[in-house]
Structure 1
Amino acid sequence: MKTVQQILNTKPVQIFSVTASTSVLDALKLMTEKNISALLIMEEEQLLGIFTERDYARKIVLYGKASKDTPISEAMTANPITVSPSDSIDLCMEIMTEKHIRHLPVLADNKTAGMVSIGDVVKFIIADQKQTISQLENYINS
């Protein structure tokens, strides 16, 4: 069984986050600077929520709110669905598909260990399938 930890092992150990009082505009600037589409909302080490481009479109733009004056706490998804490092990649795919989400924060012992995106999961599955195909071809040819 392939696990979330295996995906985390392939990524740099970087967690991008802001506090609940950060303005939506400042969060968007950080997302642009880091070329990411989601940020974790944290106070000290506690995960409060997640803010994605989808949240921006549906909770800020659609309602004509000012990004500069709106705290991220008004636009974030509170208490996001999370996974643990020992959870399977299949579980991630199932959650992401059923809940129509693209990012899953990873918690280990109630501490944020990282985040996996749908892109991370798909990339990992494709690489794993290529490796399996290569091993099968080698087995058949020997």
Structure 2
Amino acid sequence: MTIARILAEKGRNVSTTQPHRTLSEALEVLTAKNIGALVVSDAEGRVLGILSERDIVRAIGRAGASALNDVVSKHMTARVTTTTDSECVVAALEKMTKQRFRHLPVVMDGTLAGLVSIGDLVKYRLEEMERQTQAMKEYIATA
């Protein structure tokens, strides 16, 4: 199964921010939407970076509360690993696990087209395993 299937179920809306916003402004969005990361994008929808809760905690750990006045671009992860909606869920899950990140922007034709989290992928895999288990039980029951 592909990332497109997950996006078809969860939607393609992505919370974003701009690089000139402050960490405090980004934190307000994260809190209000109860999410763990914002994609940093430009006006054309190109991915410039990603800002996670972890990035904010590290910034505060290094500079104290004054870091909340810093611009997002100072603390975002600028080298963002992305995917396409045609990538296999298992491949995306392996990529996220090996590289130790929890959010994967989906890019099509150079612009942001969605976002999947490790939770989205794990949920899908668990549902898939449950379907397979049920199919095996039904097969055994009819054999």
Same fold, judged at TM 0.5 (above): yes
Question: What is the deviation of 1:93?
Answer: 1.6
* Cα contact 2:38–2:50 (8 A) shared by 1: yes
CA deviation profile, 1:26-58 (whole Å, cap 9, x unmatched): 000000000000000011111100000111112
* Cα contact 1:60–1:75 (8 A) shared by 2: no
> 1:88-127 maps to which residues of 2 (within 5 A)?
88-127=88-127
* Cα contact 1:82–1:106 (8 A) shared by 2: yes
Q: Distance in 1 between matches of 2:67 and 2:59?
A: 10
In structure 2, the residue matched to 1:40 is 39
Q: Report sequence identity in percent.
A: 33
In structure 1, the residue matched to 2:19 is 20
Considering only aligned residues, what root-mean-square deviation do their CA atoms show, in Å?
1.3
* Cα contact 2:12–2:115 (8 A) shared by 1: no
Query: What is the aligned length?
Result: 141
In structure 2, the residue matched to 1:133 is 133
Moved over 4 A (4+): none
* Cα contact 1:47–1:112 (8 A) shared by 2: yes
Query: What amino acid does structure 1 have at the position aligned with 2:29?
Result: L
Q: Distance in 2 between matches of 1:126 and 1:26?
A: 35
* Cα contact 1:50–1:77 (8 A) shared by 2: yes
Q: Specify the SS of the correspondent of 2:113.
A: strand
Question: What is the deviation of 1:14?
Answer: 1.3
Query: What amino acid does structure 2 have at the position aligned with 1:132?
Result: Q
Structure 1 unaligned spans of 5+: none
In structure 2, the residue matched to 1:31 is 30
Question: What is the deviation of 1:92?
Answer: 1.2
In structure 1, the residue matched to 2:74 is 74
* Cα contact 1:96–1:118 (8 A) shared by 2: yes
In structure 2, the residue matched to 1:57 is 57
- Single out whichever of 65-74 and 28-37 deviates more from structure 2: 65-74
Choose between structure 1 and 2: higher helix proportion. 2
